[in-house]
Amino acid sequence: MWTAALVLALTCAFASQASAKTKWLCKPGLSDDPCTGSLATTFFSTSGQKLPQPAVKIRNETRVDCFYVYPTVSDQPGANANLNVDPVLRSIALYQAARFHQDCKIYAPVYRQGTIGGLGGSGIANAYKIAYKDVLAAWKDYLKRFNKGRPFVLIGHSQGTFHLRKLVTEQIDKKPAVRKRMVSAILLGGNVTVRKGRDVGGDFKNVPACRKTKQTGCVIAFSTFDQVPPADSKFGRTTAPGQQVLCTNPAALGGGSGLVDPLVPTTPFAPGSISLGIGLLGVTWPAAPTPWVGIPSAYKAECSDAGGASVLMITPQGGAPTPKPSPDATWGLHLMDGQIALGNLVSLVRGQEQAFLKRR
């Protein structure tokens, strides 16, 4: 007969094994965590003039967590990366997730992602299955060992969004007890779908698009372009009958146009295919001695269905740089999704967190 002591021992052993399989890129208390560090920022106008420099406040006691899944960045050989923390992982965490640590504790698992070399190959579906298995295990580990009932924000881009779409569908959308703790999900560059003319009914049945700044339990999603997407664009299109790709403008959730605020680290991205792709964008940001540069109101942004694709169309303002699609027109400004409106996204998450905690 199974005794209570034996059950407890086996449970602890299972938890230990599960946690041993999760390698964290970012986690509170982790030494040399790329998701933390100084957020000191030099702000410039679109014409390159320095602006007043407000201090960036990092909360001493954060009551919300952020679970971040990074995009495709690995140049490792083979279809799936190993669990080494390569320099590109540290760079992408800095570029996309670190800014949120002023308001939340960031948890980012290392996972066996589908590599850049495997994109478009016949084995990509299986590679993504392996990658998602790691993301799912890390999510369960996070819930079991670290969450302790705290509200959470999901953050993903590209491949990270593909995995988080599946995670939300299977592990959050169907589970009210978990869903009620979700402050919001930022799912960029990953073709989140909804029913045409609706804010739900595609990937998720219960988690809607964010349409108000204080709305919680919702999704922010977009893919960035600055020209009409070609007919074979990789983002903004779906073949699912009766559905469309979701676009939520982070500068105007309720619709219409607004101005977005790019935030960019001054540390160059680690060498590799992604850094080459970023170079092809042809964007030069102002130099500054601080770890970050900000250019408020650098682009006008508006959701558009021009060319039959649902995307966030941006237009440079003043002297803001005009980016080029990278690596080609079918990708649009995919490599800028995480930076183009980072200031807006951080502000939105802060407001959503405050609204969420006030309602608890």
The stretch 282-309 carries a mean pLDDT of 97
* Residue of 144, 143, 145 whose CA lies nearest to 154: 143
Residue 99 lies in a domain: yes
> How far is 250 from 316, CA to CA, in rounded Å?
16
Q: Kindly indicate the confidence band of residue 61, based on its pLDDT and cuts at 50, 70 and 90.
A: confident
CB 191 within 8 A of CB 201: no
Q: What is the pLDDT of residue 320?
A: 96
Residue 8 lies in a domain: no
The stretch 68-86 carries a mean pLDDT of 97
Residue 47 lies in a domain: yes
Residue 53 lies in a domain: yes
CB 258 within 8 A of CB 301: yes
Tokens of 51: 């602006």
CB 179 within 8 A of CB 206: yes
**SS3 category, 219:** strand
Q: Kindly indicate the confidence band of residue 134, based on its pLDDT and cuts at 50, 70 and 90.
A: very high
Q: What is the DSSP string of 288-312?
A: -SSSEEE-TT-EEEEEE-GGG--EE
- Does residue 190 register a pLDDT over 80? yes
Q: Kindly indicate the confidence band of residue 352, based on its pLDDT and cuts at 50, 70 and 90.
A: very high
CB 104 within 8 A of CB 28: no
C-alpha neighbours within 13 Å on the C-beta side of residue 266: 16
> How far is 330 from 283, CA to CA, in rounded Å?
18
- Does residue 326 register a pLDDT over 80? yes
Look over the chain and give the mean of its residue pLDDT values, rounded to a whole number: 93
Can you give the residue range of the structural domain that contains 24?
A: 20-30+39-359
Residue 294 lies in a domain: yes
Q: Kindly indicate the confidence band of residue 59, based on its pLDDT and cuts at 50, 70 and 90.
A: confident
Residue 242 lies in a domain: yes
- Domain count across the chain: 1
Q: What is the pLDDT of residue 3?
A: 39
> How far is 268 from 255, CA to CA, in rounded Å?
34
- Does residue 18 register a pLDDT over 60? no
* 232 phi, psi to nearest 5 deg: -105, 25
Q: What is the pLDDT of residue 279?
A: 97
Residue 13 lies in a domain: no
* Residue of 132, 197, 127 whose CA lies nearest to 162: 132
Predicted TM-score (pTM) of the model is 0.93
Q: Kindly indicate the confidence band of residue 360, based on its pLDDT and cuts at 50, 70 and 90.
A: confident
Residue 110 lies in a domain: yes
CB 118 within 8 A of CB 124: yes
- 42 beta partners: 293
Q: What is the pLDDT of residue 10?
A: 35
CB 312 within 8 A of CB 260: no
CB 301 within 8 A of CB 250: yes
Number of continuous H segments (helices) and E segments (strands) in the chain: 8, 15
Q: Kindly indicate the confidence band of residue 56, based on its pLDDT and cuts at 50, 70 and 90.
A: confident
